[in-house]
């Protein structure tokens, strides 16, 4: 028997986080986690960021994880504290973002008794976590935390929840942090199958019209360099998913922009007509494929992904390669390089680009989101971190901001969570300090988590908060106009929106407003020169603008719409 010193569950919690080199916790205290907060007061190796809502904490952890590649950490109390994290957890799950969420829980002997602030958060989050744990014994605490971080960050990353009953946190035992984790049934494949890689190389070598369809998995795997090298050396055009933006330089002539519902005409035409489609770290999501049986129907499909369950899930492929994208792209580059391409494929792509470029009305008396975004892209040289909310502005960001680096576009892709941007930008600003962080919101989504302006103001985070105020829930209004006989049911916010400049100021953030295209340059120059505190700008933009091109939901990519179907009475 040893006489090693015993630590409390709360102490073990922090010793474990120290081992995991955690820099920040985003959290909110309450009764069930009060002992952890008690200890937190003495902790100096990490910083706790008190958000104003647990959903905010969870998106902040995601923002931090998305820009750094490290695991984001959340700490909340039981019951409502825990349930408030659900949207953020689901968001992280859909986009494969590594976060660990620690929830307080009622004492073990009261679980199942409808105790005060009891919620079965393990049950609630089972379908939206990569894994979750209820710690029943303080002796399991350190090894559970080790497992949680390991599962969150390895293979296809994702959220892990650890539920901590109050008595487990109070109990004591010796602290032993495991060096390694062995989890039966969880052994992510890292190296792609050699023969499959050779076969893929052979097929790509013969391809006449190849296309790389690249998703967020490439960014997660830190494989952007290898992917870019492979694409450039083999002269293959690249199209990105929403989450893949930044994995290949947005200014490179080989880049075709985003594909899918609001993708470019030429990217979608390339998908329709390619003979070999190389999907890397992408999951054939329905916003990308539209009708699956017509998606890339002429192509031999190669799918490179770390997650074997993503293979053949939505679209059947001809050649799967399961493993780490960084390793596989490097191996593929060894097999294949400097393949000259027939000019015909590039000539065809050029023709599509000239026939249907991205466009909007300019010059114009009305201020347009697209115009503001182009200006932001120019002024930041594609080097900023753009944290988008959800809606029309999100699609315009994907179309008009030229992302030149991975981990620069932070966006809620799979879940499409309005209210994501403000808190995610807070987390991103803690993660990256040497590049501007820009939070771009619609007037609707901004109101869903605007309380986190307070967090940004308190910590003097130099975030630029932009509101593209079109006085509508724009994206829903767009669907109402195009597909629901112009019945604008509950999407007009013009009578009920608050005064955003006053809201910003009240929450501690210097705020401006403009509706004039000619003022945009000066406003942006002014706010990008402010580096010691957050600022907010409301851009009063055209009210009834629509995002084009658009592939209607469930239609084939070839059914793309390019302009208003029914322009009656529309001013913009
Ligand atoms: C939490 C949540 N509720 C509802 C929706 C459905 N939805 C998708 S886009 C959108 C409109 C967004 O409006 P706004 O924030 O003003 O941005 P805009 O589309 O005008 O750019 C809505 C309501 C959602 N995505 N998320």
Task: Write down the catalytic residue from 54, 118, 374, 538.
Answer: 54
Looking at residue 337, what is its pLDDT? 67
C-beta of 542 in contact with ligand 1 (< 6 A): no
* Structure tokens, 332: 């593929």
Half-sphere exposure of 501 (CA within 13 A, CB side): 7
CB atoms within 10 A of CB 314: 14
CB atoms within 10 A of CB 199: 16
Best residue among 373, 444, 447, 497 to mutate for probing ligand 1's pocket (most ligand atoms within 8 Å of CB) is 444
- Name the pairing type of β-strands 24-27 and 6-8: unpaired
What is the SS3 string spanning 386-421? Answer: EEECCCHHHHHHHHHCCCCCCCCEECCCCCCCCCCH
Cα separation, 327 vs 286, whole angstroms: 27
Q: What are the helix (H) ranges across 7-140?
A: 9-19, 34-40, 54-68, 80-83, 86-94, 121-125
- Taking every pair of Cα atoms in the chain, the longest distance, rounded to a whole number of angstroms, is 84
Cα separation, 170 vs 164, whole angstroms: 10
Q: Is 54 a catalytic residue?
A: yes
The structure's pTM equals 0.97
Backbone angles phi, psi at 29, to 5 degrees: -85, 165
- Name the pairing type of β-strands 437-442 and 385-388: parallel
C-beta of 476 in contact with ligand 1 (< 6 A): yes
Q: Is 351 a catalytic residue?
A: no
How many A from CA of 416 to the centre of ligand 1? 8
Task: Write down the catalytic residue from 35, 146, 166, 464.
Answer: 166
Give the tens place of pLDDT for each residue, 471-496: 999 999 999 999 999 999 999 999 99
How many A from CA of 55 to the centre of ligand 1? 17
Q: Is 23 a catalytic residue?
A: no
142 neighbors 83 (Cβ within 8 angstroms)? no
Q: Would you say residue 397 has pLDDT above 50?
A: yes
Facing residues of 9 across strands?
Answer: none
Work out the angle at residue 448's Cα, subtended by the Cα atoms of residues 446 and 449, and round it to the nearest 5 degrees.
Answer: 85
160 neighbors 101 (Cβ within 8 angstroms)? yes
396 to 127, 219, 374, 401, 547: CA distances (angstroms): 32, 21, 9, 8, 7
Q: Is 180 a catalytic residue?
A: no
Q: Would you say residue 547 has pLDDT above 60?
A: yes
Q: Is 26 a catalytic residue?
A: no
DSSP symbol at 568: T
C-beta of 418 in contact with ligand 1 (< 6 A): yes
Give the tens place of pLDDT for each residue, 296-349: 999 999 999 999 999 999 999 999 999 999 999 999 999 876 666 678 999 999
Give the tens place of pLDDT for each residue, 21-44: 999 999 999 999 999 999 999 999
C-beta of 470 in contact with ligand 1 (< 6 A): yes
Cα separation, 164 vs 10, whole angstroms: 10
Cα separation, 60 vs 52, whole angstroms: 11
Q: Would you say residue 219 has pLDDT above 50?
A: yes
* Structure tokens, 118: 């009891």
């Amino acid at each position: 028997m040893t006489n090693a010193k015993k630590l409390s569950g709360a102490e073990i919690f922090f010793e474990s986080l120290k081992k995991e080199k955690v820099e920040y916790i985003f959290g909110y205290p309450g009764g069930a986690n009060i002992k952890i907060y008690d200890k937190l007061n003495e902790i100096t190796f990490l910083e706790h960021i008190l958000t104003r809502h647990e959903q905010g904490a969870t998106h902040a952890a995601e923002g931090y994880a998305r820009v750094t590649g490290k695991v984001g950490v959340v700490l909340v109390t039981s019951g409502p504290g825990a349930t408030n994290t659900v949207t953020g957890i689901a968001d992280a799950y859909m986009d494969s973002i590594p976060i660990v969420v620690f929830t307080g829980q009622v004492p073990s002997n009261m679980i199942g008794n409808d105790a005060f602030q009891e919620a079965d958060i393990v049950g609630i989050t089972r379908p939206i976590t990569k894994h979750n744990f209820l710690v029943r014994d303080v002796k399991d605490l350190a090894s559970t935390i080790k497992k949680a971080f390991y599962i969150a960050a390895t293979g296809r990353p994702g959220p892990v929840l650890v539920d901590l009953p109050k008595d487990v946190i109070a109990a004591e035992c010796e602290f032993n942090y495991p060096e390694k984790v062995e989890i039966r049934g969880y052994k992510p494949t890292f190296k792609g199958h050699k023969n499959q890689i050779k076969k893929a190389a052979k097929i790509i070598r013969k391809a006449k019209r190849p296309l790389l369809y690249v998703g967020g998995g490439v960014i997660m795997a830190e494989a952007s360099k290898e992917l870019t090298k492979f694409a450039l050396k083999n002269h293959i055009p690249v199209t990105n998913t929403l989450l893949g933006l930044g994995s290949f330089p947005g200014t490179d002539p080989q880049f075709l922009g985003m594909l899918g519902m609001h993708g470019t005409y030429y990217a979608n035409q390339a998908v329709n007509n390619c003979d070999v489609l190389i999907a890397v770290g992408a999951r054939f999501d329905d916003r990308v494929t539209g009708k699956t049986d017509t998606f890339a129907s002429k192509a031999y499909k190669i799918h490179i992904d770390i997650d074997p369950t993503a293979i053949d899930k939505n679209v059947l492929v001809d050649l799967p390669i399961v493993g780490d994208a960084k390793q596989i792209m490097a191996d593929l580059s060894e097999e294949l390089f400097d393949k000259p391409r027939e000019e015909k494929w590039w000539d065809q792509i050029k023709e599509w680009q000239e026939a249907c470029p991205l466009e909007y009305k300019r010059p114009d008396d009305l201020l347009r989101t697209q115009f503001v975004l182009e200006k932001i892209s120019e002024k930041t040289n594609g080097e900023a971190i753009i944290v988008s909310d959800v809606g029309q502005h999100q699609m315009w960001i994907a179309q008009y901001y030229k992302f030149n680096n991975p981990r620069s576009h932070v966006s809620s892709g799979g879940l499409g969570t309005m209210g994501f941007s403000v808190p995610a930008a807070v987390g991103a600003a803690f993660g990256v300090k040497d590049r501007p962080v820009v939070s771009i919101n619609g007037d609707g989504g901004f109101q869903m988590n605007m309380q986190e302006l307070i967090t940004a103001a308190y910590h003097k985070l130099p975030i630029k908060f932009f509101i593209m105020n079109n006085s509508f829930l724009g994206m829903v209004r767009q669907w109402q106009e195009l597909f629901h006989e112009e019945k604008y049911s509950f999407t007009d916010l013009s009578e009920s929106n608050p005064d955003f400049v006053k809201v910003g100021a009240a929450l501690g953030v210097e705020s401006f407003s403009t509706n004039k295209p000619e003022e945009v340059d000066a406003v942006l120059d002014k706010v990008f020169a402010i580096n010691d505190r957050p600022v907010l700008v409301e851009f009063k933009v055209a009210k009834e603008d629509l995002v084009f091109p658009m592939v209607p939901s469930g239609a084939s990519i070839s059914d793309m719409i390019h302009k208003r179907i029914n322009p009656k009475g529309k001013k913009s």
